[in-house]
Amino acid sequence: MIIATAAYPLDFLTSWAQYEDKISAWVSEAAQAGAKLAVFPEYGAMELATLGGEAAAGDLERSLYAVSDRLPEADALHGKLAAAHDIHILAASGPAATATRPVNRARLFAPGGQIGMQDKQIMTRFERDIWGVIGGGPLQIFDTAIGKIGILICYDSEFPLLGRALADCDIILVPSCTEALSGYWRVRIGAMARALESQCVSVMASLVGEAPWSDAVDISTGTGGIFGPPDTGFPANGVLAEGEMGVPGWTYAEVDLRAIAHVRVDGVVLGRAHWAEQIDRDAAAPIVSLR
């Protein structure tokens, strides 16, 4: 199957119709290219805050709820597009209100109308210290017609034990929003490491460009990328496809679930199967003095 992953720019929206047209055009383009899975980035939903006006979009606290209030409409749109184009869609994540503080929530839409929700687990310093976004519900594995899918939102991809919880996934989605090039590479290295450890495919989508109306997503650096284990049936560098840095658009790669199954049982290395051999070594190693 073909997977499409986005380098997605934010717009200041003047109407709901503008948003509907934008998302519809993006999904249509991916579907016309043959994609069966389209992945949007972290915090791509922040442009929904602009529908509340510049004051709401520019206020960190108000923008959280301005987006959350619009998510039901956005979800209805993504569900309709998934069915119309026979494609699975990971909608761009955004703040979703809870009984306490908002979480950062991604939603996965299947063509048959099913919806899976995944909250970010571990907050960055900006999210926890300045924005007040909190960790949400536990990690889940979504069993779909195109394989078992897990979601590690941006910073989550940098934690191997979170990746290990998704070791049964064929595909791990990594929607991302990073301001600096260093942040992009932290997440990309994490995404590639998770593909290496679990001998699966990871898919990184990035927010790109400038949104001067928001202190949360004012500058975003990145591109789309699709990665696998550098082993039998995959490229020697593990990169199935990567976009051009900062350039909006889809990046595509063809992924064969049979290649994932094969490398797990007969790869040059069997890291996923050998993971258990390190269980007794999870404590800090003793310090041996050579002074």
Instruction: Write down the domain spans for the chain.
Output: 2-271
Q: Which CATH code is given to the segment(s) 2-271? A: 3.60.110.10
Q: Are strands 88-96 and 35-39 parallel, antiparallel or unpaired?
A: parallel
For the segment 165-173, the average pLDDT, to the nearest whole number, is 98
pLDDT of residue 24: 98
- Residue 213's pLDDT band, with cuts at 50, 70 and 90, is very high
Lowest mean pLDDT among 83-87, 241-245, 276-280: 276-280
* pLDDT of res. 37: 98
Which tokens is 119 given? 């909250």
Residue 227 in 3-state DSSP?
strand
pLDDT of residue 147 exceeding 90, the answer is: yes
For the whole prediction, is pTM greater than 0.85?
Answer: yes
pLDDT category at 283 given cuts 50, 70, 90 is: confident
Q: Is the pLDDT of residue 85 over 90?
A: yes
Label residue 12 exposed, middle or buried (CB < 10 Å: 0-12, 13-18, 19+).
middle
pLDDT at 228 over 80: yes
- Please check the confidence at residue 21 and state whether its pLDDT lies above 80: yes
Closest listed residue to residue 106, CA positions, set 44, 34, 170: 44
Average pLDDT, the chain: 97
Q: Which long-range contacts (CB under 8 A, 24 or more apart) does 139-145 make?
A: 139/165, 139/166, 140/116, 141/166, 141/168, 141/169, 142/108, 142/116, 144/88, 144/108, 144/110, 145/88, 145/110, 145/111, 145/112
pLDDT at 284 over 80: no
| pLDDT (average), residues 269-289 | 85
Residue with tokens 């791509």: 44
Residue 280 has pLDDT above 80, yes or no: no
Mean pLDDT, to the nearest integer, of 14-29?
98
Q: What is the mean pLDDT of residues 186-210?
A: 98
